[in-house]
Amino acid sequence: MHKRKLGTSGLEIAPLVLGGNVFGWTADSDTSFAVLDAFVGEGFNAVDTADVYSRWAPGHQGGESETVLGAWMKARSNRNKIVLITKVGSEMPAGKGLRAAYIQSACEASLQRLQTDHIDLYFSHFPDEDTPIEETLEAHQRLIQQGKIRVAGASNYGAASLTAALAAGDGKVHARYGVLQPHYNLLVRDQYEGALENMCVSENLGVIPYFALASGFLTGKYRTEADLQKSARGGRMKELMQGRPQALLTAMDVVALRTGATLVQVALAWLMVRPSVTAPIASATSVAQLLELTPAAKLNLTPEDMQTLASA
């Protein structure tokens, strides 16, 4: 499978990133191992997690996902074949934010859970308005010099905070963010398109969007109020159903019918075709779900398909 360069980072990834938020949460260890095995078996290589996954679940402290992923890489002896992505900054028992000392200690903790000596792409999970960006970037650069991370990235940064970070990053004393992880999909476009996307293109940043399926809305399972009973995400789905999303699902139906693809594959392929996007992130809690995601990488959307989707 053809791999894409992740901006100027030197990393190369296949056009789909596996989201690890479900590992050790809605997917137990055995299921997570099976999903990961299927993912790499299909020719993909990048896995995204965070230290905070899945702290929100009852009885969890955070680090559950990293622990499962680390155990899988050790069991398969495949660390050198995986582009490993994790994050720092969200609240954990040991602290939160992007102060230099905390970034250093949180990285050490992630490395232990992941059972590795380095992280390929290390994201600042959210901007930290209480910490000077220079301090944050200097901490990332120190980790790069120590060989503990290869590339630093920005997750959930808007145009203003990303502009400030890029202005401060010199790649010598202060790391330069090489990748952005934004909230972006066919339904939610305003948070990325415009100034933020233009900056990513002009600065040659890699882009790996999360919520590629709009929390499941773009699967097509939620079309009426009655469908909201299908999931614990009903409240979130009701919010997403406001406005014109039904017109979007209808347009996706048209493209799916023409291509023989599922709506999931159409939604992912649309992101893959976007010139500024390196690869979207999507999660799976079963091998069957995973095997529905992966064909998106081979789905060729025509300019007409893209116009049909954009017009909705």
Provide the pairing of β-strand 4-5 with 12-13: antiparallel
CB 230 within 8 A of CB 222: yes
Q: CA–CA separation, 4 vs 206, rounded Å?
A: 10
Provide the pairing of β-strand 206-207 with 179-181: parallel
Contacts of 35 (CB under 8 A, 6+ apart): 18, 27, 284, 285, 286, 287, 289, 290
Residue 222 a catalytic site member: no
Residue 180's SS3 state is strand
Across the chain, which distance is largest between two alpha carbons, in Å? 56
53, 102, 177, 184: the catalytic one is 53
Looking from the CA of 37 toward its CB, the CA atoms found within 13 Å total: 14
CA nearest neighbour of 238 among 256, 214, 254: 214
Residues identified as active-site? 53
